[in-house]
Chain A
Amino acid sequence: MSSQRFILALFFSLFCANLNAQKIASFDKYEDLEKSIITNENTIYVINFWATWCAPCVKELPHFEKLNAENKNVKVILVSLDFKDQFETKLLPFLEKKNIKSEVVFLADKNYNDWLPKVDKDWSGSIPATWLVHGNKKLFAERDFENFAELNNYVNNFINQ
C-alpha cells in the first residue's frame, strides 16, 4: 500500500514537473517573444533578463519574486537567456527547486547583435538587466538590485514619473 502510494506520489510529482515545463514558452526569435509578452499597453511590465549561469542574476531573483507577489500594479516577466543545451538540464530544475512563481520565458535567440539594440540601443550585453515598459514609456538599466526595497522604489518611481 505504502509503495503504491509512493508510486502514485512519484507519478504526481513527475506530472507536475511536466506541467511546469510546459508552462515555459520558448522563443527562437526576439520579435516573437516581444509580441507574446508585451500585449497590453495599460500593463506595467517589469522584464528581467537573466540566466541560471549568471550569479548576480540568481542573487536578485527573490526581489523580483517578491515584487511579483506584492506589487499588484506590475507584471514581472523573467526572460531566461540560458544556453540552449541547458534548458532541460539546468533551467527547468532550477525553476522547480526555487519554486519560481513569476512568468518565465526562454529566449534562444543567439543573434545578440540583432536583438539587444531592439531592447535598448545602449545595452552593452551584460546581465542582469531590467526593462520597465508601460505603453510607450520605457526604462532600461544594465544593473542589479541589492534588495527588494531598492527594486520596489525603482519601479514605483517609474510608475509615478
Chain B
Amino acid sequence: MKKIASIIAFASMLSTAEAQVSGGYKPGDKATDFNLKSVDEKIYSMANYKDAKGFIVVFTCNHCPFAVKYEDRINDLARKYKDKGYVLLAINPNDPAVQPADSYELMKVRAKEKDFAFPYLFDEGQKIYPQYGATKTPHVFLLDKNLVVKYIGAIDDNVDDANAVKEHYLENAIAALEKGKNPSPDVTKAIGCTIKKK
C-alpha cells in the first residue's frame, strides 16, 4: 500500500515537472542561445551572427510527414530572408533512439537531398527544445536581434497547399518586426508530430 502511495507521489511529481517544462517561452521572453552541431559538423550559435536583424528558429525533423510538407517552404524562407538579414536555423529535437529516421547521419542525407539553404542542427541530448517549449515539428520561433521572442507557431495556415495559403503568419510577423511593431497574431496553433523522447 505504501509502495503504491509512493509510486503515485512519484508519478505526480513527474507530471508536474513535465507541465513546467512544456510551459516554454511566450512572446516577450528572452530565448536562450545554443551551441549545436549542424550537418556540416560545425557548431552554430546565434552569437556568431553579429549583424543579424533576427532569427527564425524552426524545430523540424526528417521523418514527420507534416514537417516534410513544409520542407520546401522552409528552404524558400531561408533563401528569401537571408538577403534581408534574418537567419533561419532549423533544429531537429527528436531522440533518434525513439525515431531512428531522425538520426544525425540521416539529417545529413536529407539536407543534401533537399539542398538545405540553412544550418540543420541536432539538439543532442534534447536540452534546447524544452527551454523553448517546442511541442511538435514543425514549430517556429521568431526572435529579434536581442533574442527576444516575437512570434511562436505555424509558418502559414495551409499545410496542404502552399498556393492556397491565406495567412503567411511567419512572414507577416517578420514584416511587423521590420516596422518595429509587435506581430499580430504573435502566437498561432497548428498540428504537427509530437517531439519524440524516451
Contact = CB atoms under 8 A, between A and B. Distances in A.
A142 B195 CA distance: 12
Interface in A109-123: 110-113, 116-117, 123
Contacts of A123: 189
Interface stretch (A8-16, A61-69, A78-86, A91-99): A78-86
A112 B194 contact: no
A84 B159 CA distance: 10
Interface stretch (B27-35, B110-118, B150-158, B175-183): B150-158
A125 B159 contact: no
B191 A112 contact: yes
A113 B65 contact: no
A142 B136 CA distance: 11
B158 A56 contact: no
B190 A112 contact: yes
25 contacts: A53-B64, A54-B193, A81-B191, A85-B160, A112-B157, A112-B188, A112-B189, A113-B154, A113-B157, A113-B167, A113-B169, A113-B188, A116-B189, A116-B191, A117-B189, A124-B135, A124-B136, A125-B135, A125-B136, A125-B189, A125-B192, A126-B135, A126-B191, A126-B192, A127-B191
Nearest to A84: B160
Nearest to B193: A54
Nearest to B136: A126
A113 B189 contact: yes
A136 B103 CA distance: 45
Contact of A112 (B64, B135, B154, B185): B154
A83 B65 contact: yes
B124 to A, nearest CB: 22
Contacts of B193: 54, 126-127
Interface of A: 51, 53-54, 56, 81, 83-85, 108, 110-113, 116-117, 123-128, 142
Given A110-B160, A124-B189, A126-B192, 8 more contacts: A53-B66, A83-B159, A110-B158, A113-B154, A113-B189, A123-B189, A126-B135, A127-B193
A110 B135 contact: no
A110 B155 CA distance: 12
Interface centre among A54, A84, A117, A125 (most CB of B within 10 A): A125
B42 interface: no
B69 interface: yes
A106 B150 CA distance: 34
Counting from the closest, the 3 A-B pairs by CB-CB distance are A53-B65, A126-B136, A124-B135
Given A83-B65, A83-B69, A113-B185, A125 B191 contact: yes
Nearest to A108: B160
A29 to B, nearest CB: 14
Nearest to B137: A126
B46 to A, nearest CB: 24
A113 B153 contact: yes
Nearest to B187: A113
A123 B135 CA distance: 10
